[in-house]
């Protein structure tokens, strides 16, 4: 609330003099200036009113600002405290606004996966205009020319509803975004931002916005991944069990060439026994050796047995 107020000068700024009329020593500087204030904070002076007044005979003399003692002149700044604060706050907010615009423009210029755009659905994705017209779009992929978005299945009337969705991690629920994607050129995205169809641009920090997850955190790498099974080797085992030795050998040989130690062991055994392929001990020894180099214990044992009968 803006109020008019009358303020008396602080006592230590007053100068006590002898009254020229009654010669009493109670002749003091007094301040009855009027100023505009907000609550208790002075905003602007409305009228200067200084005078020397005798508290004994009530004799008074008006003073101009230039006639005031220098300490009182310095104190005049107190009438502008509110205005100074308003100007400082305005400059701060304007500078902060410019910084935000620069940040948003930087995000648009250098997109990252899961950048989150708040959009007007009718203009951004050509959807019918409804009272609930606000949606969330997230960057999925991008290249030098295009940006691909996933669009939320949910519409909102107010920004606070979107903020609530982010705070409660609704954006990471599987049905939140549509399976359909929207691909726009970078020029189209910039144009939509300039015309207000994209009215806010946010970049997740630590996978979250407003304290809630808006993207799935990466899964930690397991401490033990177990044995990596080679598909060709597994298929060869199936063929071998079904008695399809030729197909089994071809699958084992493919697995061997892919570096599978178990594929190399199985191929070596089929070369040794002549199953699915013509018997070839030199090839058997070769694949045993390849498996043994990968510390396959079974290959080492069978290679040693084979070398007792044939020169390796």
% of residues, the chain, pLDDT over 70: 92
Residue 84 has pLDDT above 60, yes or no: yes
Residues 6 or more apart in contact with residue 107 via CB below 8 angstroms: 115, 201, 202, 203
For the chain, percent of residues with pLDDT exceeding 90: 63
Q: Which residue has the higher pLDDT, 294 or 78?
A: 294
- Going from the C-alpha of 123 to that of each of 48, 180, 182, 202, the distances in angstroms are 57, 17, 13, 19
pLDDT band at 129 (very low <50, low <70, confident <90, very high): very high
The pLDDT assigned to 11 comes to 43
E strand segments, the chain: 2-7, 27-31, 33-38, 41-47, 50-54, 60-63, 116-120, 134-142, 146-152, 177-185, 198-202, 208-209, 212-213
- Position 12 scores a pLDDT of 45
Q: Where exactly are the structural domains of the chain?
A: 2-83, 111-213, 231-309
Average pLDDT over residues 203-225: 82
Mean pLDDT of 273-290: 93
Tell me what the mean pLDDT of segment 79-88 comes to: 92
What CATH architecture applies to the domain 231-309? Alpha Horseshoe (1.25)
Q: Are 299 and 288 in contact (CB under 8 A)?
A: yes
Q: Is the pLDDT of residue 224 over 80?
A: no
Average pLDDT, the chain: 89
């Amino acid at each position: 609330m803006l109020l008019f107020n009358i303020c008396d000068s602080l006592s230590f700024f007053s100068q006590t003099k002898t009254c020229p009329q009654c010669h009493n020593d109670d002749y003091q500087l007094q301040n009855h200036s009027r100023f505009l204030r907000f609550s208790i904070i002075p905003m602007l002076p409305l009228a200067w009113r200084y005078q020397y007044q005798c508290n004994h005979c009530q004799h008074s003399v008006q003073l101009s600002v230039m006639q005031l003692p220098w300490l009182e002149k310095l104190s005049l700044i107190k009438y502008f405290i509110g205005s100074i604060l308003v100007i400082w706050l305005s400059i701060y907010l304007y500078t902060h606004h410019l910084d935000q615009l620069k940040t948003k423009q930087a995000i648009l210029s250098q997109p990252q996966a899961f950048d989150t755009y708040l959009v007007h659905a009718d203009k951004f994705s050509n959807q019918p205009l409804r009272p609930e017209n606000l949606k969330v779009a997230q960057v999925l992929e991008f290249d030098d020319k295009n940006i691909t978005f996933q669009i939320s299945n949910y519409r909102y009337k107010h920004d606070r509803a979107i903020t609530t969705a982010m705070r409660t991690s609704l954006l990471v629920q599987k049905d939140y975004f549509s399976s359909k994607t929207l691909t726009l050129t970078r020029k189209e995205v910039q144009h939509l931002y300039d015309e207000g169809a994209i009215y806010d641009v946010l970049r997740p920090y630590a996978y979250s916005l407003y304290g809630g997850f808006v993207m799935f955190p990466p899964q930690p790498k397991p401490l033990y991944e177990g044995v990596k099974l080679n598909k060709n080797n597994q298929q060869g085992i199936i063929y071998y069990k079904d008695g399809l030795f030729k197909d089994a050998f071809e699958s084992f040989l493919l697995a061997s060439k892919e570096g599978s130690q178990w594929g190399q062991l199985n191929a070596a055994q089929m070369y040794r026994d002549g199953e699915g392929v013509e018997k070839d001990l030199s090839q058997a020894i070769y694949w045993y050796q390849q498996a043994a180099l990968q510390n396959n214990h079974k290959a080492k044992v069978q290679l040693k047995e084979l070398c007792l009968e044939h020169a390796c």
